[in-house]
Amino acid sequence: MKIRVLPIVVTAALSLILLLGGWFMYRQTALERPIEKMLTNYPGVTSAQAHITQKQAVLKLDLESNVDLRGMIAQLRKEQGSLLEGRSIKLDIADHSTPEIEELWKQASFSVAEAMANKRYTMIPDTLAEIQNENNGYTISSDMDDRYVYVALSSASDKKANKYIILPLAAATGTGGQYNA
């Protein structure tokens, strides 16, 4: 009996293509598309792309100013919790910062880092409100859930100028923040 190599190789290649294609289609239609649809329907989200692996969900977001990040993440976990179960969420938010907004964050970052390191989270809104009062024309807000502190900086005159910082409650020693939720 003579074994033909060509039909075996072609069969193996077609099987691999069908398996990988099936996984890709499943990931696109059953996992990523519902998350993208929910995010793009959330107020203030300009665009959203999801990339889901076995361990994490990477969400690329383009946001307008003053989006409620805590509310968005809570709604995402509520509506798509079964899809995200066992996966960490990593947010990749498009940065529409200006030099002025960067300077505001630079002023606030040390106080925020100190409050995070000492676990005195109630200091954060007071510090940000004080900096906002000193700099008319800018909005600085903060919010918190059981995992993160969310800080949003935006310009009143330029609706597209904004910066979002997400700081984890677990390891709150840095000032740059983590883009994970």
Half-sphere exposure of 153 (CA within 13 A, CB side): 23
Q: Which domain holds residue 48?
A: 5-93
Same domain, yes or no: 114 and 44: no
Between CA 148 and CA 169 the distance in angstroms is 5
How high is the mean pLDDT in each 10-residue block of the chain (181 residues)? 82 82 75 89 92 89 90 88 82 92 92 92 93 90 91 88 90 49 51
Between CA 14 and CA 10 the distance in angstroms is 6
Same domain, yes or no: 58 and 138: no
Tell whether 175 is covered by a domain.
no
Residue 173, pLDDT score: 45
Residue 72, pLDDT score: 92
Between CA 59 and CA 166 the distance in angstroms is 14
CATH code of the domain in which 62 resides: 3.30.300
Same domain, yes or no: 107 and 128: yes
- At residue 62, φ and ψ (nearest 5 deg) are -120, 115
**Last residue in a domain, options 93, 123, 151:** 93
Between CA 70 and CA 97 the distance in angstroms is 20
Same domain, yes or no: 85 and 157: no
How many residues in the chain? 181
In 53-147 the beta strands, taken as DSSP E runs, fall at 56-63, 88-93, 138-144
Residue 172, pLDDT score: 46
Same domain, yes or no: 88 and 22: yes
- At residue 140, φ and ψ (nearest 5 deg) are -125, 120
**Last residue in a domain, options 74, 93, 112:** 93
Half-sphere exposure of 34 (CA within 13 A, CB side): 15
